[in-house]
Amino acid sequence: MPLPDTMFCAQQIHIPPELPDILKQFTKAAIRTQPADVLQWSAGYFSALSRGDPLPVKDRIEMPVATQKTDTGLTQGLLKVLHKQV
């Protein structure tokens, strides 16, 4: 069903009261986790949130310190996230 071509004003738009907190928590999680693919990570985040599963979130931001050629990109925080999901 197509939406009407009506302009909405602030009084016509209902924002669920929990939405600002959900978006704030999502933003903080994205900043801490620094996912390589934000869209894919976001889909997993909201899927886990809707099912009540553990969220794919790091406890804190991790700055890359490894500069070796054999660096796998695995960090302690990423391993914790993967472990929570399994």
The pLDDT assigned to 5 comes to: 64
Residue ranges of domains in the chain: 16-55, 60-85
pLDDT per residue of the chain (86 residues) written in tens, 0 to 9 = 566 667 677 777 888 999 999 999 999 999 888 888 899 999 999 999 999 998 888 876 666 565 556 666 667 766 776 677 66
Q: State which H helix or E strand residue 44 sits in.
A: helix 38-51
Question: What pTM was estimated for this model as a whole?
Answer: 0.63
Q: Return the structure tokens found at 40.
A: 């894919």
Local structure of 65: helix, strand or coil:
coil
C-alpha separations of 27 from 14, 39, 41, 50 in Å: 22, 13, 12, 17
Handedness of CA 34, 41, 17, 60 (dihedral sign): negative
The pLDDT assigned to 47 comes to: 94
Q: Return the structure tokens found at 38.
A: 């934000």
Contact in structure between 58 and 35 (CB atoms under 8 Å): no
